[in-house]
Amino acid sequence: MRFRYIASQPDGRIMESDLEAKDIPEVLSYLRGNSLTPVSVIPIEKAQRWKLFQGKITITDQIFLSKYLSLMLKIGTSLLEAINVLIADFRKPAIKDVLLEIKSSLEAGKPFYTTFARRERTFSPVYVNLVRAGEASGNLEKVFEDLTDSLSKQKELNDQVKSALIYPILLLGGSVLILSFLIIYALPKISKVFVEGGFEPPLFSRIVFQVGAFLSSNGLYILGFLVAVGAVSLFGYRTSAAFKRFVVSIVTEIPLIREVILKIGLQRFASTLSALIKAGVPITEALEITAKAVGNPALREALIRVDREGLAKGLTVGEAFRRERVFPQTVTNLMAISERAGHLEEVLGTLSEFYIKEIDASVKSLVAVLEPVLLLFIGAVIGVIALAIIIPIYQLTTQF
């Protein structure tokens, strides 16, 4: 029988491998003989099902994990004891897997943050570096409290944007279904009536009927093509930095969308840099980490220049930011003033709160524009179809 095991090596690193054995005790005996500390041993078939259904760690999971660690550290619980409590209380397999790995690393004397660093697809560089800074300064309790607050605001912002876009998306989806029914199913039926009746519709109606007939006969091919293009585009966006920049450059040319994307990037910049500086991360390192977190190519490149071509050459924070046109003048002025006052992280925190409200207002403005545009588009298409049907009927009736 084949088993999959996760074990801790003598140097504290976690390894995962498969082994052919008669039963679990034989696997444990093998691990002890190779100076490995077992974390979990699961039959391979069960392990595959476990991986399939354990889910992924969401931002909500990260909020709860940070909150519980902050609370337990606040009441004086040791880090290892806190992890043991969470292992017993958490039921989600993905979280428990992380906690078991953390426990194994701590027992082996490895730094706490290393487990998060190994899971870079789940935990952001900001999360990892804040935990590292908190562990180095002995202030993990405050770091996890700040992480809880920061992640909660991020989730709230994401939920605001999603909820604002629900109605336009539903409207667009419903419109596509209705128009598809009219063009693919209804139009060919009506066109057939005119053809079989020996009446030739005017040119405008014939063009509309031909479009409907083409879409009706080739609908599956067109749908397959669109799905393929969408899948390839999504794959390219996730795997190719050049393609991602190309897509972002096109999207950011649309005025209202450009405004929302920039404000989201500025909010992430302010909240991330504030948290990192507050945790004691040096400003140059904090800028490099923040550049990876903003999600906006223009802001990312600007922050890298601020660090490598500004601060590295002796410029002040205010001077370095003033050289970058992508940042609004309000931001650069506040950066310069707060640097002189020695309260950079506090001003950045305030700036983050300001942009959360600005994003909400911008998204509402975008939705307010999208709704009538979609309605006008739907009305125009339905109007064209209606005219294509009404005009020949009117001409037919006038002949009698």
Question: Does residue 1 register a pLDDT over 60?
Answer: yes
pLDDT at 399: 61
- Burial group, residue 293, by CB count within 10 angstroms (0-12, 13-18, 19+): buried
pLDDT of residue 98: 84
> Is residue 176 assigned to a domain?
yes
Band (pLDDT 50/70/90 cuts) for residue 53 is very low
pLDDT at 52: 44
Structural domain span for residue 199: 139-400
Position 132 in a domain? no
Mean pLDDT of all residues in 41-55: 56
Same domain for 165 and 193, yes or no, is: yes
Average pLDDT over residues 298-309: 90
Per-residue pLDDT at 54: 54
Does residue 263 lie within any of the structural domains? yes
Q: Quote the mean pLDDT of the chain.
A: 82
> Residue 281: pLDDT band by 50, 70, 90 thresholds?
confident
Instruction: Examine the domain organization and report whether 184 and 274 are in the same domain.
Output: yes
Last residue of a domain, one of 123, 153, 174: 123
pLDDT at 249 over 80: no
| 128 domain residue, yes or no | no
pLDDT for 393 equals 78
The answer to whether 277 and 345 have CB atoms below 8 angstroms apart is: yes
Q: Are residues 253 and 106 in the same domain?
A: no
Q: Is position 180 within any domain?
A: yes
Same domain, 64 and 159: no
286 with 366, same domain: the answer is yes
Domain contains 371: yes
Domain end position, chosen among 14, 30, 53: 53
| Structure confidence at residue 49 as a pLDDT band (50, 70, 90) | very low
pLDDT category, 303, cuts 50, 70, 90?
Answer: very high
Residues 6, 337: Cα–Cα separation, whole Å:
52
Shortest CA distance to 144 belongs to which of 193, 205, 79?
A: 79
Structure letter (DSSP) for residue 111: -
Residues 150 and 36 in one domain: no
How far apart CA 279 and CA 135 sit, in angstroms, is: 10
| 305 band by pLDDT with thresholds 50, 70 and 90 | very high
Q: Are residues 114 and 40 in the same domain?
A: no
Phi/psi of residue 15, nearest 5 degrees: -125, 155
pLDDT tier at 40 (50, 70, 90 boundaries)?
Answer: confident
Burial class (CB in 10 A: 0-12, 13-18, 19+), 248: middle
* Listed residue (97, 95, 135) closest to 113, CA to CA: 135
pLDDT for res 304: 92
Average pLDDT over residues 180-208: 78
H or E, element range at 60: helix 59-74
Verify that 11 and 105 share a domain, yes or no.
Answer: no
pLDDT for res 48: 46
What percent of the chain is modeled with pLDDT above 90? 3
Domain count, the chain: 3
Q: What is the pLDDT of residues 103-151, one digit of tens each?
A: 878 877 888 888 888 887 788 888 888 888 888 888 888 889 888 988 8
What is the pLDDT, as a whole number, of residue 228?
A: 92
Residue 129 falls inside a structural domain: no
CATH assignment of the domain containing 304 = 1.20.81.30
Q: Which of 239-243, 308-312, 341-345, 383-387 has the lowest mean pLDDT?
A: 239-243
The answer on 286 and 383 residing in a single domain is: yes
pLDDT > 70? residue 164: yes
65 and 48 in a common domain = no
pLDDT at 352 over 50: yes
Give the whole-angstrom CA distance, residue 248 versus residue 75.
46
pLDDT average, residue stretch 312-318: 87
What average pLDDT does range 188-200 have in this prediction? 75
Are 225 and 269 in the same domain? Answer: yes
Is the predicted pLDDT of residue 46 greater than 60, yes or no?
A: no
Q: For position 12, what pLDDT does the model report?
A: 67
3-33 confidence digits (pLDDT tens): 777 777 777 666 667 677 788 888 888 888 8
Residue of 323, 351, 319 lying closest to 336 (CA atoms): 319
pLDDT tens digits, 57-74:
888 889 998 999 898 888
Within a domain: 257:
yes
Task: Please indicate, yes or no, whether residues 237 and 321 belong to a single structural domain of this protein.
Answer: yes
pLDDT tier at 55, thresholds 50, 70, 90: low
